[in-house]
Amino acid sequence: MKILIIGDIVGKGGRKAVLSQIPKIKKQYNCEFIIANGENIANGSGLAYKCTRELSETVDVITTGDHIWDQKKFEYEINEFNNVIRPANLSNMQPGKGWDVFTAENGTKIAVINLLGKVFVRDSAYCPFETVEKILNSEKIIGVKNIFVDFHAEATSEKIAMGYFLDGKVTAMVGTHTHVQTADAKILPQQTAYITDLGMVGAEYSVLGRNVEAVVQKFRSGMPMRMPVEESGIRLDAVVVKFDNESGKASSITSLSFMTEI
Q: Tens of pLDDT along the chain (262 residues)?
A: 999 999 999 999 999 999 999 999 999 999 999 999 999 999 999 999 999 999 999 999 999 999 999 999 999 999 999 999 999 999 999 999 999 999 999 999 999 999 999 999 877 899 999 999 999 999 999 999 999 999 999 999 999 999 999 999 999 999 999 999 999 999 999 999 999 999 999 999 999 999 999 999 999 999 999 999 999 999 999 999 999 999 999 999 999 999 999 9
In the chain the first and final C-alpha atoms are separated, in Å, by: 29
Quick one: how far is CA 202 from the chain centroid?
Answer: 14
State the CATH number of the domain containing residue 228: 3.60.21.10
Count of domains forming the chain: 1
Q: Contact at 8 Å (CB) between 181 and 237?
A: yes
Catalytic annotation, residues: 67
| CA–CA distance, 4 with 86 (Å, rounded to integer) | 19
| Rounded-to-integer distance, Cα 146 and Cα 110, Å | 5
Q: Which domain holds residue 82?
A: 2-259
Q: pTM here? A: 0.97
